[in-house]
Amino acid sequence: MSDPIFVGIDVSSQTLEVWRSDQSESQQFSNDEAGIDALEQQLRQLPVGLLVLEATGGYEFEAAYTLQASGLAVAVVNPRMARDFARAMGLLAKTDALDARMLAGFAQVLHQHPQRDRFIKPLADAQLQQLQALVLRRRQIVQMLTAERHRLRLAHAAARPSIQRHIAFLKAEQDDCDGQVSHHVQQHHAELAQVLSSVPGVGATSMAVLLAELPELGRLDRRRIAALVGVAPMNHDSGKLRGHRAIMGGRADVRCTLYMATLSAVRNNVVVKAFYQRLVALGKRKKVALVACMRKMLTILNTMARRLTCWNPEVQA
């Protein structure tokens, strides 16, 4: 049996710089349909153990999706993770070819990782891509609205009519985006949407973010889903030092959405409210208790998504 080949791809808007562990030089393909097809035809004939690309804001998606659809193991990694690996290996110089070679080395290391599967997750299909795009656009509109409202408070009287017109326009765009999100969810994710929105504290916006940006919900165990979102406490111990546990990393947008849903649940959800009050009564700081409630909310949502059962306070208590 042939030894596995590890592939690193440095992605730009125009090109794909490809390094294979069985070669001594990189190859370059165009980052378009023709170039990706040529790369896919070459690689699917080889015993590829793992292929790694960096997330580059979308330039990598077509290549990653095509290669994964052909049966290759593809991991799209955070650029910071790849750069940390390069520094650890003493690879400080940076060119497209060197980056591709570094990613091929990273692929070999990830291939031996005991939790290798956490780095290799299915990429979004066309329906999920559309929902992700709509959720992202809504977030952008809300950010613009917030900025304009801040400007309105400080603006000169001469500038206020312009800002007010822009605010009205953005509100209309937000309403239109909300309508598109709602229609898409009901058309393609109705069953899971009904399950998630049945939880007190989870509104339409929170539900849409969870569907779009946490497709692993219901497919992982509670520890892995908590680590993925970034609400699992991390140890900070060394020798006799016992530091405070803290949450870090994960998917920031999902975590922010979960935070807002938990704030609502602490007031309106009997199970989460009782859990929060019990922790505070035991002397836990309110912030610590709230993070614990976020983790409990996520565990509840994960279990409900896996079983496709709606909210039942007697079962979830």
| Per-residue pLDDT reduced to its tens digit, 212-239 | 999 889 988 898 899 889 887 765 555 6
Domain stops at, among 188, 208, 224: 188
The range of the structural domain enclosing residue 66 comes to 5-119
Helix 252-268 to helix 222-229 angle (10° resolution) is 110
**114 and 50 share one domain:** yes
Residues of the chain with pLDDT under 50: none
**246 and 296 share one domain:** yes
Domain stops at, among 119, 151, 180: 119
**109 and 132 share one domain:** no
Instruction: Please tell me the predicted confidence (pLDDT) of residue 122.
Output: 65
Provide the domain count of the chain: 3
**287 and 238 share one domain:** yes
Quick: pLDDT tens for 15-28. Answer: 999 999 999 899 99
Instruction: Please tell me the predicted confidence (pLDDT) of residue 235.
Output: 55
**28 and 74 share one domain:** yes
Helix 222-229 to helix 286-307 angle (10° resolution) is 120
Domain stops at, among 119, 149, 172: 119
**174 and 271 share one domain:** no
**259 and 308 share one domain:** yes
**197 and 316 share one domain:** yes
